[in-house]
Structure 1
C-alpha cells in the first residue's frame, strides 16, 4: 500500500473517532482545583455549573445554613451546606461539589450534592488590605480574588449615604467609595455623620456592583470636644455653664422658640451623667460660640435640631475658621437630604409672586418667585438681590461665604435675569418685601419660565431639577431642555406619600421633551416611595428617558416613581438601571413604578436592560403592584414592554416576581385595562407576565400580550399572557391587533417590536 493511502486511512480513522465521540452525550468532568481562587476562576469562565473535586478553607461567617469559607487568599460563598454558628473558625474540606453563578454571585451550591469534613487543625484567616479601586474593577480575575474576600480597611463612613471612602493608593493619595451594610443587628454604623472608622468584613459583587458587608467596626469619635455640665438652658440656642454663656453656632431658634428650647433641654438631659461636649470656635462679647455634641461626641445637636425642624440655619456671623462653614454645611445638607426640618416646611408654603405680594401676611413662611433684576455687593461683603423691584433678598457676608463657593461676580452672572425662588419669612419696608437668606436650599431656580402651561419652568441642570421638589405640590409645569446628569448628587425623590397627597406628592406636569435624566442614585433601606419621583398624584410625566438609575429602598420603589395615583405616564423609558427593595414582605418594586393605583394610566412605556430585584414579594419588571380600590377609576397599561433585563426575588416562590406586573388587586374586570404589552426578560422565582392575584381580586383580563418563552427561564410560565418563541417574537404577525403604523415598529426577523417614539 502506498504511503499516501496509508496516511489517508489514518486521517479517516481519526475523523471517524471524533464523529462517534461527538455524538455521545458529554458530562462535566470532575475538575481538580488547587485553591478557592482557581475554583472561582473555573466557575466564572464556565457557561454552566462546574463539578469541583475539593475546596478547602476556614469558615469565617455563617448565616442560617450558609457560610463563607476562606483559604487565606480569597473566599467563596457556600449555599445550604448545613453549617452552624459554632463552625466559625473551623477548617473544612468540601469534596465533589457544584460551583455555580447564581445571578451574578459566585458560590458553591451544596444543595446539589457533595461532602464536607472538618479538620482537627485550624487556620487563622487574617483580613487583607483593600488596595484597588474595587468599585470600578469587575474583571474576572478581580472577581475571583476579591469577591467574598475578607478585608480590613480604614477610611471615612460617609454620613447619610451608607458609603465608605478609603485610600487604596497611598502613594498617590487616590481614594475610592464603596457601599457598606452591617451584617449584625447589634452592630450600629453611624450613618448620620462622617466619621473615621476601621471596618472588617467581606466584599461582595452582587447586582452588578461591589459592596462591603461589615462584620465588625471600630468607630472613631467624630468631633471630640470638652465635656461640661449645663446649669441652665436660656433659649433654643443658648445655655450656661456656671457663669459662662455658650451660644450655638449657625442656628436661629426664632421659628418656634418654645419647641427649640424644649428640644435643647431634652438633648442635654438625655446624655449619660448629664455630660455634653462643646467644641468652642470663638468668643465675642463675653459669649463662647460653640458646637454642641452628645457625650460620646458622635451626635451634633445642630444637625438634629435642623432635622426636627425646631430651628433654621443662620451663619450670619463672620468667622475666620473655615472649618466652621464646612461643618455646618455638612450638617445642614444632612438635614436637607432627610427632607425634615427646614425643607419640610416648603410643602405647605404659599407661592408669592408680584401679583400676589400684596396678599402676603408678614411673618409667614412662603416661597417668593420672580425674576432677579440685579445683584449688588456692599463694601463689607453683604449681598443684595433685587427681585423685580418688589422683593429684596439680603445675604450677610458670613452667610455668603458659607452658602457659595463662587465669587460674587460668578454668583451675579448666574442669577441676574433668571427666574428664582426664595423660601423664608419676609417683612414689609416702604412698600416692598425684605427677607434675609440663611441657607442654600432656601434658594432654588430654573433657567426660565413661570410654571404655567404656556411658560413652563425650564430645566437645564441638576440644580433646576432639585428645585422641582420645592414646588412639587404647586401644580406647576416643568420641561427639560437638556439631558441632566445626577452623578454625585445625593438624590431625594420629588414628592412623597402623606394622608393628603395633594400637599406632599408631585402634582403637576413634567415634560422630558425627549431628554435623559442619568445616574439617579438612592440607597437607603429605611425609606419607601422612592424613584425620580416619590409619589405621583394627579400628575403627568411624558417624553422622558431615565438611564443608569440605581435605586435601593425598603419598599415602593421604581426608577420613575415609588407609587402613582390618578396620574398619566406617557412615553417614558427606563434603560440600564437597577431597582431593589429590601422589605421582607410585599416590597412593591418595579422597573418603572413600584405601585400603580386608582386611575394611573401608563402608555407607550418601556423598561430595557434593567435589573429589578427584592427580598421577598411583589417584584415586577414594569410594576410591582397594580391596585384599584372599589369605585375608583381603572388602571390602564397599554403598549408597553420589558426587555433585556432580569426580574428576581430572593424568596423561592413562583409568585414572588413577574416580568411585567407582579401583584394584581382589583374587584372587577373593568378595573384594569392591560393590552398590547410584551416581556423578554429573565425571571427568577416568579411568573412571566403576572404572578399573583391578591385575595378577593378578580382574574386579570390581559389582551394581546406576549412573552418570550426562551428568555424568561426554564419552567417560568404564565396563564394570562401568551408565550412565543424568540423567532415568533420577532415577527409582526405574532402581535395581533397591534398598531404598527402609529405606535409600534419592528425590524422583521431581527428584533422585537419597538415603540416608534424611541427612534
Structure 2
C-alpha cells in the first residue's frame, strides 16, 4: 500500500484523538455567550480558577461562582466534588488558566465544559456583570431571580435593595450542592458589624415578590444577630408570596426563618424548618419561626417551625435573662399581625409563645390569628402569646402549654388587652397556671373563654371557664358578643363560625384559604 504525506497526517490525527478523546471536548464561549449561559442554565456551575486574592480584589466575580484556583492546585485536588454530568463554565482573569482547567476537566470525564475566552477582563468590559435573569428593577419590570446565584447576587448588591424583585423559579440553597454554602449572616441585607447589637448594614427597602415560589434549605450558622433570608427589612419594604422550606437558621439574637428584624410589610409568607437562638450563652433573644422581631405588619402568613431558645443547646430552665422572646411565628411583636397562624413547636426561657413570644405595649396588636402547636419554657409561657402588653382580639389557641410559672392557655402574663378570644389546650405549670391567663398585671380580659376540661384548669387571671360542651355551642359565644357567620346581632364582619356540638369556634377566613 502506498502511503503519502496526507495519509500520515490523517493517521496521526486519528491517533491523537484516540489517545486523548476529550482533548477538544470543551467549548470556547465569549463573555456574552457566558452571560447567556448564566442567565438561562439553572444547574450551571461556574468555576473561577483565579487565586483567592484575585477573586476577592478584582472588580467582580460572577455571583455564585466557586473559587477553585488552578495555579495553586485547588481544582486538581477538589474536582471530584463537582458533578461530572452537568454544565460547567470555567473562568479566570484573561483566559489562559481557564483553558488549562477546562482541558483538565475534559480529561476527567466532565460531559459539558465551557471555557470563557478573555476571562473576567472580557466579562467586565464587554458585558454588564450578570446578576439577575431579567428585568430592570422597576415596579412594572422587576428584576427576575431564577437561580441561587441571582439570589446571592442580590445579597451582594446593597445598591439594589430599593428595587423590585420577583422570583421566577423555586430555588434550592442546599449547602451540599455546588455553588452553595452555609451562610454566616443573612443572605440579603445582612448586619455588617458583628460587635454591636444595633444593625449596621443596609436594610432592604424594596419589594420582593416570591410569586408563589419556594426557597428551600437555607442554612445559616451565625455568631450574632439579624439572621434570616433578610437581615433587616425597613419601613416601606414589602416581602410577599414566598415560602421558606426546610430552613435551618441558628444565631444569637433577632433570628427568623424569613427576616431577622422587620419594619416593613410581610404578606402571604410562610416558614418551615428549624430556628435556633442558642448558639452562645446569653443567646436566644427575639427568635421566631418567621420573624425574630416585628415592628411592621404581618398578614396571612404562618410558621410550622421548630423554634428553640436555649443556652448552648441545653434547656434554659430557670433562666430569666437569657432566651427571651421566643415565638413560633414572631419572637417579639411591636407591629401588627392579622389572619396568621402557627403550628410550631416552641421552647425557651422567658416569654415563650406558640404564635408570639412577647407582644409589645401600645403598638403590638394581634387580630384574627391562631396557634395550634406546643410550647414549653420557664416563665411567662402562653399557647398564643407568652407575654402580652399590647392587644389581642378575635384569636384562639388549641395547643399544649408547659412551664414553671405564669403559664396560660392563651397568654402567660398579661398587662394589655384581650378581647373575644379563647383557648382549649392543655395547661400545666408549677406556679400561677391559668386556663386562659397565667398572671394579670393590670390588664383587661373581656368576652374571652377557656375550656376547663381540656385545659385541666378551673381558674384563670381573667376570662370565663366553660365545659367542653359549652365551648362547642354557638350560644356560649353569641352571649359574649362574638360575631358569627349568618348572624347580625353582634356585627356583620362574619369573623367566626362553628361546627355545632362537634368543634370549637374557628376563624371564618380559615375556610377561605
TM-score (norm 1): 0.39
* SS of structure 2 residue aligned to 1:468: helix
2:42 aligns to what? Answer: none
1:624 aligns to what? Answer: 331
After superposition, what is the alpha-carbon deviation per residue over 1:431-450, rounded to whole angstroms, capped at 9, x for unaligned? xx96499xxxx955322222
**How far off is 1:574 after superposition?**
1.6
**CA–CA distance in structure 2, aligned partners of residues 498 and 707 of structure 1:** 38
Q: 1:325 to 1:576 in 2, by over 3 A?
A: closer
**CA–CA distance in structure 2, aligned partners of residues 398 and 750 of structure 1:** 70
After superposition, what is the alpha-carbon deviation per residue over 1:278-312, rounded to whole angstroms, capped at 9, x for unaligned? xxxxxxxxxxxxxxxxxxxxxxxx9xxx6xx7999
Unaligned runs of 5+ in 1: 1-247, 253-301, 330-376, 384-393, 416-421, 427-432, 628-634, 694-698
Q: 1:729 to 1:480 in 2, by over 3 A?
A: farther
**CA–CA distance in structure 2, aligned partners of residues 746 and 449 of structure 1:** 45
2:368 aligns to what? Answer: 676
Q: Which has the higher strand share?
A: 1
1:580 corresponds to 2:277: yes
**CA–CA distance in structure 1, aligned partners of residues 73 and 512 of structure 2:** 49
**CA–CA distance in structure 1, aligned partners of residues 157 and 511 of structure 2:** 29
Match of 1:712 among 401, 414, 425: 401
**CA–CA distance in structure 2, aligned partners of residues 313 and 466 of structure 1:** 12
Once the two structures are superposed, the pairs formed by residues 407-446 of structure 1 within 5 Å of their partners are: 411=114, 435=125, 444-446=130-132
**How far off is 1:552 after superposition?**
1.1
**CA–CA distance in structure 1, aligned partners of residues 336 and 100 of structure 2:** 51
2:8 aligns to what? Answer: none
Match of 1:601 among 297, 317, 331: 297
**How far off is 1:400 after superposition?**
6.9
* Bigger-Rg structure (1/2): 1
**CA–CA distance in structure 2, aligned partners of residues 533 and 757 of structure 1:** 31
Work out whether residues 587 and 614 of structure 1, in 8 Å CA contact, stay in contact via their aligned partners in 2: no
Unaligned runs of 5+ in 2: 1-49, 63-67, 80-88, 312-322, 426-467, 487-491
**How far off is 1:665 after superposition?**
3.9
1:546 corresponds to 2:238: no
* SS of structure 1 residue aligned to 2:174: coil
Work out whether residues 496 and 529 of structure 1, in 8 Å CA contact, stay in contact via their aligned partners in 2: yes
Work out whether residues 637 and 673 of structure 1, in 8 Å CA contact, stay in contact via their aligned partners in 2: yes
Work out whether residues 730 and 753 of structure 1, in 8 Å CA contact, stay in contact via their aligned partners in 2: no
1:477 aligns to what? Answer: 164
**How far off is 1:610 after superposition?**
3.5
**CA–CA distance in structure 1, aligned partners of residues 484 and 133 of structure 2:** 41
Work out whether residues 337 and 367 of structure 2, in 8 Å CA contact, stay in contact via their aligned partners in 1: yes
* SS of structure 1 residue aligned to 2:165: strand
After superposition, what is the alpha-carbon deviation per residue over 1:492-549, rounded to whole angstroms, capped at 9, x for unaligned? 421123699796222211111112111111223x131111111112311001111111
Greater RCO (Cα-Cα under 8 Å, separation 6 or more)? 2
**CA–CA distance in structure 1, aligned partners of residues 248 and 229 of structure 2:** 10
After superposition, what is the alpha-carbon deviation per residue over 1:10-41, rounded to whole angstroms, capped at 9, x for unaligned? xxxxxxxxxxxxxxxxxxxxxxxxxxxxxxxx
* SS of structure 2 residue aligned to 1:495: coil
Match of 1:450 among 131, 136, 145: 136
After superposition, what is the alpha-carbon deviation per residue over 1:330-386, rounded to whole angstroms, capped at 9, x for unaligned? xxxxxxxxxxxxxxxxxxxxxxxxxxxxxxxxxxxxxxxxxxxxxxx9xxx989xxx
**CA–CA distance in structure 1, aligned partners of residues 167 and 493 of structure 2:** 25
**How far off is 1:580 after superposition?**
3.5
**How far off is 1:454 after superposition?**
1.2
Work out whether residues 473 and 495 of structure 1, in 8 Å CA contact, stay in contact via their aligned partners in 2: no
1:357 aligns to what? Answer: none
1:659 aligns to what? Answer: 354
**CA–CA distance in structure 2, aligned partners of residues 679 and 530 of structure 1:** 24
**CA–CA distance in structure 2, aligned partners of residues 703 and 638 of structure 1:** 10
Match of 1:497 among 151, 171, 191: 191
TM-score (norm 2): 0.56
Work out whether residues 555 and 582 of structure 1, in 8 Å CA contact, stay in contact via their aligned partners in 2: no
Match of 2:95 among 392, 396, 401: 396
Match of 1:514 among 201, 212, 225: 212
**How far off is 1:559 after superposition?**
0.5
* SS of structure 2 residue aligned to 1:447: coil
After superposition, what is the alpha-carbon deviation per residue over 1:223-267, rounded to whole angstroms, capped at 9, x for unaligned? xxxxxxxxxxxxxxxxxxxxxxxxx96535xxxxxxxxxxxxxxx
Once the two structures are superposed, the pairs formed by residues 51-130 of structure 1 within 5 Å of their partners are: none
Alignment coverage as a number of residue pairs:
352
Match of 2:393 among 697, 703, 712: 703
* SS of structure 2 residue aligned to 1:506: coil
2:73 aligns to what? Answer: 323
**How far off is 1:578 after superposition?**
3.6
